[in-house]
A and B are shown apart, each in its own frame.
Chain A
Amino acid sequence: MKRKSHPIPKPAAGAVAVLIGTRKGAFILRGDKTRRMWKLSMPMFLGHIVHHMVSDPRDGRTLLIAARTGHLGPTVFRSTDFGKSWKEVERPPAFPKVPEGQKGLVLDHVFWLTPGHSSQAGVWYAGSSPQGLFRSEDGGRTWEGVSGFNDHTMRGAWTGGLGDGTPDGPKLHSINVDPRDPNHIYIGMSSGGVFESVDGGKDWRPLNKGCAADFLPTPDPEYGHDPHRVLLHPLMPDRLYQQNHCGIYRMERSEGQWIRIGRNMPKKVGDIGFPIALHPRDPDTVWVFPMDGTEVWPRTSPDGKPACYVTRNAGKTWKRLDKGFPKRAWFTVKRQAMANDAHEPVGLYLGTTSGEVWASRNGGSGWTSLARHLPEIYSVEVAELSK
């Protein structure tokens, strides 16, 4: 029996925008209410590396972009008219300056943006590379480090240092704020694992019991894991899902450990991947996009056959959803590059490293290409334009 902490919201019925961050700028795909007609914007910040573009569901018009260029340091741009005009924020995330002679952290890029709790208008969180957590209380105009994490005595051990991360640097990502409590926050780190704070970020503890980290010499470490994407379900906030480097997992907080629901995936496909998406009204329905994690980790679809997989029973069984995808293709879908809308049926959107946007209006049963020939896609987010 499902235990739901919140009433089930009505499906969205308005127009949808897909926010696309790429290696060479940002784009917005605007769809109509039927999600059949789409129009792609011209690039914004052409040539900038856009790690994440996120809308603020609390006002429906603010967008933030986490950007840098090959030469220039990291910053955040802000729009209050849904992308028509942009301004650089006044004080972007940065680590504190340390005294002369000490070695301080240098922020390479802002990787992740998450709007704060619905009751805290103007609050945003950002995750960075190397792993840092930052907070804004003024809609993203100015940012401060969350000292409880950035200066935590265990931060160095938890993160493993600068050399222990993704090829593009170690990252803090997957910032989830509990819809029942703005002080209850989860983060994911690659590397580091899943961590939570119950006091608004003052202190943190690892939450990795049961999750494999088979790339480490320690059999069952407390931290050092590699969650690729972590999500809590808004209707069941004590249920977490993660697509990890070592498989697909679910945790019921009452049980206190991760269960590898990816073991129920077909053996030939495996359960390695980057993104994961949750049905907004059914905590048992989850989509993943598996990738080849064998040998040297090609990170392309297993056997070059792109497919999404869905479970409708919290991971007991999985179904392949590949109708419409090319029979063979060799792209990768990054951890930020799959998202869903809140319509009925749910729409799914994913962006590929080869610059294509694929979408399904029916929960993954059939896929169509919405855009192609874009730069390498880093992130895909969905904004509901009207209720």
Chain B
Amino acid sequence: MKVHIPTPLRSYTDKQSVVEADGATVGEMLAEIDRRYPGFRFRIVDEQDGIREHINIFNNEKPVRSLSAPLQPGATIHIVCALSGGV
């Protein structure tokens, strides 16, 4: 799967805007990214496994709000910082 990374998180991904990751669910996919880029997950998922308020995740352009949402091989994932987060 290709995972598109927003600019605020690229300090974790060596500046890469897209990373490859696997996982049967959003949670598994983020766990794999966090193994390679430690700290990444906690910035967008809280300690109760909730996707943070100002973060949106899209699976093939459809929004998902749960880590248990299933992913298909070859899916395109976008992690997006919502317009609500800035002042």
Contact = CB atoms under 8 A, between A and B. Distances in A.
Interface of A: 23, 69-73, 75, 88, 90, 92, 94-98, 103-107
Given A72-B9, A103-B48, A104-B48, 8 more contacts: A71-B8, A71-B82, A72-B52, A72-B55, A75-B42, A92-B39, A96-B47, A105-B47
Contacts of B50: 106
B85 A71 contact: yes
B65 interface: no
Nearest to A70: B85
Given A71-B55, A72-B8, A72-B9, A107 B38 contact: no
Contacts of B48: 95, 97-98, 103-106
Given A97-B48, A98-B48, A106-B50, A73 B86 contact: no
27 contacts: A23-B87, A69-B8, A70-B85, A70-B87, A71-B6, A72-B8, A72-B43, A72-B44, A72-B55, A73-B44, A73-B45, A73-B46, A75-B42, A75-B43, A90-B38, A90-B39, A92-B39, A92-B42, A94-B47, A97-B47, A97-B48, A103-B48, A104-B47, A104-B48, A106-B48, A106-B50, A107-B46
Nearest to A48: B8
A71 B43 CA distance: 8
Contacts of B81: 71
A275 B81 CA distance: 35
Contacts of B20: none
A281 B6 CA distance: 51
Interface of B: 6, 8-9, 38-39, 42-50, 52, 54-55, 81-82, 85-87
Contacts of A23: 87
Contacts of A90: 38-39
Contacts of A73: 42-46, 52
Name the 3 nearest CB pairs between A and B, nearest first. A70-B85, A71-B85, A72-B43
Nearest to A73: B43
Contacts of A103: 48
Contacts of B49: 97
Contact of B85 (A69, A75, A94, A106): A69
A95 B45 CA distance: 13
Contacts of A96: 47
Contacts of A69: 8, 85
A96 B81 CA distance: 25
Contacts of B85: 69-71
A96 B86 CA distance: 28
A48 B20 CA distance: 27
B14 to A, nearest CB: 14
Nearest to B80: A71
A320 B85 CA distance: 41
Contacts of B8: 69, 71-72
A97 B55 CA distance: 20
Nearest to A89: B39
Nearest to B56: A71
A96 B44 CA distance: 17
A107 B45 CA distance: 11
B60 to A, nearest CB: 22
B63 to A, nearest CB: 16
B86 A70 contact: yes
A103 B47 CA distance: 11
B16 to A, nearest CB: 17
B56 to A, nearest CB: 10
Given A71-B55, A72-B9, A73-B52, A95 B82 contact: no
Contacts of B39: 75, 88, 90, 92
B54 A70 contact: yes
Contacts of A107: 46-47
A75 B45 CA distance: 12
Nearest to B53: A71
B8 to A, nearest CB: 6
Contacts of A92: 39, 42
Contacts of B47: 94-97, 104-107
A96 B48 CA distance: 8
A107 B47 CA distance: 8
A90 B34 CA distance: 12
Most chain A Cβ neighbours within 10 Å, of B38, B47, B49, B85: B47
Most chain B Cβ neighbours within 10 Å, of A73, A88, A92, A98: A73
